[in-house]
């Protein structure tokens, strides 16, 4: 059964933040330069020796209940997906007019950013993520944006496959995009785009 999706305000962020935002890393995308990068980059998937969990909400600032303290979220589109019992099963947030997207954040007034998307582990692979992405894209389009930008890192192979399946296009790879963040410094930054 499809989830019910509504736009919410900060008074319901506590429900949004209850949805776990972690994934298991079993493989990573290794980025290899071809001819020192002059012939492009090759993306190679390789298994990790020891699978592990990466939890986005483990960083205090990434938890939805703290976004308002960092950004002006008054124009953002924040979506909550609930099941037939009104329990939260997923969420997505579209950021606008905020410096949250690498490379394009200052020069692209037509770009909205999928800042966050999460689905409860018990509801993953049920279509909730696709519903949320379609609603996020529709929200951004209704606000006059022409493209949706999405950032993920090379350890989130499942998300990369999901974005490609949903019609997003990999537009940029920044091999050293996280070099200043110790926990993910070895990962490449992948920037996806969805035309609206």
The two structure tokens encoding residue 54: 């990466």
- State the Cα–Cα distance between residues 190 and 173, nearest whole angstrom: 5
Q: Which CATH number fits domain 4-195: 3.40.630.30, 2.60.40.680, 2.60.200.20, 3.40.50.2000?
A: 3.40.630.30
pTM greater than 0.85: yes
Q: Over 90: is that where the pLDDT of 162 sits?
A: yes
What is the pLDDT, as a whole number, of residue 98? Answer: 78
Q: Over 60: is that where the pLDDT of 106 sits?
A: no
The proportion of the chain whose per-residue pLDDT surpasses 70, expressed as a percent, equals: 94
3-class SS of residue 94 = strand
What is the pLDDT, as a whole number, of residue 88? Answer: 97
| Domain spans, the chain | 4-195
- State the Cα–Cα distance between residues 8 and 39, nearest whole angstrom: 46
3-class SS of residue 136 = helix
């Amino acid at each position: 059964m499809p989830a019910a999706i509504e736009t919410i305000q900060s008074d319901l962020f506590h429900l949004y933040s209850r949805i776990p935002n972690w994934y298991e890393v079993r493989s990573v995308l290794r980025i290899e330069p071809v001819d020192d990068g002059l012939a492009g980059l090759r993306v190679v998937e390789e298994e990790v020796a020891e699978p592990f969990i990466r939890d986005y909400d483990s960083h205090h600032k990434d938890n939805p209940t703290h976004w308002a303290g960092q950004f002006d979220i008054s124009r953002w589109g924040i979506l909550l997906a609930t099941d037939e019992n009104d329990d939260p099963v997923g969420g997505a947030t579209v950021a606008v007019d905020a410096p949250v997207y690498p490379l394009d954040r200052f020069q692209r007034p037509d770009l909205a950013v999928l800042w966050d998307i999460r689905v409860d582990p018990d509801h993953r692979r049920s279509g909730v993520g696709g519903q949320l992405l379609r609603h996020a894209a529709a929200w951004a389009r209704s606000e006059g944006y022409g493209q949706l930008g999405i950032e993920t890192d090379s350890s989130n192979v499942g998300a990369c496959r999901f974005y490609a399946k949903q019609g997003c296009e990999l537009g940029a790879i920044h091999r050293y995009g996280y070099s200043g963040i110790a926990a993910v410094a070895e990962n490449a930054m992948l920037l996806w785009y969805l035309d609206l």
